[in-house]
Amino acid sequence: MVTIDPAINISELALRYPEVVDFLIYEYGFHCIGCFVSEFESLEEGASVHGIMGEDFDNMMKQIENIINKKVQKSDSSLSS
């Protein structure tokens, strides 16, 4: 099961897990994913700039991890078929 460190760099998250990019843009307004700042800003910092803190941030993190883990499970099941 994949867990994401809130200190992960936004651009690194997008490169490793492109399946979360649309979610972050459309659900949370993270248009900064394509911005040069994403190379220097952590996911937690970016969320804070967008007013996503506390319980809202925790929920966002859970949703991100769920998206990633669903993709991992699909990949694993297709390998075993």
Q: pLDDT tens, position by position, for the chain (81 residues)?
A: 899 999 999 999 999 999 999 999 999 988 877 777 788 999 999 999 999 999 999 999 999 999 999 987 776 666 565
**Total-model pTM:** 0.85
Alpha carbons 21 and 55: distance in angstroms, whole number: 21
Alpha carbons 37 and 9: distance in angstroms, whole number: 10
Q: Contact 25/32 with Cβ under 8 angstroms? A: no
Helix (H, G, I), strand (E, B) or coil at 75: helix
Nearest Cα to Cα of residue 34 among 21, 47, 23? 21
